Structure 1
């Protein structure tokens, strides 16, 4: 059965919809209010609905799939190539309608509410870490204005802060010193909030319920945070054709430029999900720092390449292993060597 392609441009209150009537050939472009969006598709024959992967798209995609429609979420960067003329809701909906019919446009997996809940916890943890870093840098910058420079690191800041504030009490207004002390103490509040999210039983409970998370628990360098983030971010592993494609999607491959048949490799591309890529790189760094016998592959690579390159290469290998275990339903085996199918 051939599905009718429909392009939907999501907004806060008014959605723009574009399709071509398969019976009459009429080009339909209309606005639909948010309250009546689902009812518009409730009585329609199954359609191939294209949307940009933006805020709220996962919510609408789940409801539309429950109605029997096929939904394809596409990155905004991929849809932008099909926008002609000035940018508007009508042009965007038409571009989405064109992009959803192209076979080469990559789609984003529609996630379950449980997967999105886990990702929300990860995102809030990431935001709190960013706030803590901003707070530390802000304190260092303010204190530098008064000649107080401390060593690098959070531990050095905690050791020196009490003496620094004591010296500043004799020179600066009391209100300013008290405010600096409050900002320093606020770091402990952020630490507690981050630790509370990391201690949440939801992570461990979801990991026990999800067989996919348990499959990843035995990979060296993959812990609770990395396993839950990888499963929730990937969604359906079958969306990627290989582990190499998954690693490239995470940005763990060299960026390359080529012309005239000559290809040059640069640093890692840093595309895809920054948070998951960071977790994998930190996990690879911990493996290299703690492993007594890193293995012949890492030893040989370490003789030829810098230390950070080895870390990224190991993170790339971990990403490929994660995809292989999830896509093929296997458990981790140390020293396993894959063989090409006959």
Structure 2
């Protein structure tokens, strides 16, 4: 049975729906209020529904899937190619309707548990961003009074009480008190970050997939929880190579006339997960007591940063293999292709 393609441009209050009625051939492009959205699809025959992977899309995808519809979430860049002329809700819904009928890699629909873990990661990143901004702000303001702080958080904590006492002799007390408040605020941000990480560790103890992935060399708490949550369903990727390409740690290819040129990594996909994998790979290389033979051979013929990215690529493939095949990580495992 061929499913009717439907393009939906989701928004906060009004959703735009575009499809062609198979019985009458009528082109339907109509707005639907959020309260009536699920009711509109509740009694319809199963459809192939396309939506952009954006805020709220995973929630609506889960709801529509429970009704028996097939939902395909697509990256906004993929949909943009089908948007002709002016951009508005009706045109966007039509572009999504066209895009959902094309072959392409959909975004795996995440569960609520996976989204909950990602929410912890996003809040942790926001707190770290606030902390960095506050430190840079303190450094910049103190520099206005001739006080140059050393690099590093530990050195800042040692020097700032002495600096504040020194400049208190010539500056108003209200300013010094404000400096101290801002400095004390860093400790509160540290506590909030530590508390989120503690909750992640508790989560790790209960999540079988996160525990399995954490056994891989170079994969720590943050990388394991982020990889499991962002991947969604591992079966959505046909291989570890496809997952690594989705993360963006494979060479970018350009070519014409049969000649293919490889460049640096594509940097597609989620920057946060790619950063964690690369930092984990760098830590594994620098802190390993006995580096693997593969790493040693690579280090002899390639620059260190290239080896780091190559190891991150290997880690991504291993993560996919552990999750997709539901087997524990084996350090000495050798993949054997069937004859």
TM-score, normalising length from structure 1?
0.95
Whether 1:115 and 2:118 are equivalent positions in the alignment is: no
What corresponds to 2:303 in structure 1? 306
Aligned equivalent of 1:339: 336
Aligned equivalents of 1:151 and 1:267: distance in 2?
Answer: 35
Q: Give 2:234's aligned residue.
A: 237
1:271 aligns with 2:262: no
Query: How far apart, in 2, do the equivalents of 1:336 and 1:141 lie?
Result: 52
Partner of 1:196 in structure 2?
195
Q: Which moved more, 1:91-100 or 1:329-338?
A: 329-338
In structure 1, what is the equivalent of residue 30 of structure 2? 30
Question: What does the per-residue CA deviation read over 1:44-63, in whole Å, with 9 as the maximum and x for residues that have no partner?
Answer: 11111100001011111111
**Post-superposition CA distance 1:279-308 (Å, at most 9, x none):** 212221221122111112111211222222
Q: Partners in 2 of 1:250 and 1:168 — Cα distance? A: 49
Q: Could you tell me how far 1:176 is from its partner in structure 2?
A: 1.6
Determine if the alignment matches structure 1 residue 49 to structure 2 residue 46: no
Gaps of 5+ in 1: none
Which residue is 1:156 aligned to?
Answer: 155
What is the rounded CA distance, in whole Å, between the counterparts of 1:186 and 1:204 in structure 2?
25
Q: The residue matched to 2:252 in structure 1 has which SS? A: strand
Structure 2, unaligned runs of 5 or more: none
Equivalent residue pairs, number: 339
| Residues 1:143 and 1:306: Cα distance change in structure 2 (over 3 Å) | farther
Per the TM alignment, residue 276 of structure 1 is displaced from its structure 2 partner at its CA by 1.4
Question: RMSD between aligned alpha carbons?
Answer: 1.5
Partner of 2:184: 185
Aligned to 2:77: 77
Superposition map of 1:122-133 within 5 A: 122-133=121-132
Given the two structures, how large is their TM-score scaled by the length of structure 2?
0.96
- Residue number in structure 2 paired with 1:316: 313
Partner of 2:8, secondary structure, is strand
Greater alpha carbon shift after TM alignment, 216-225 vs 58-67: 216-225
Does the C-alpha gap of structure 1 residues 263 and 153 become closer, same or farther in structure 2, counting only changes over 3 Å?
Answer: farther
Give the secondary structure class of the aligned counterpart of 2:268.
Answer: coil
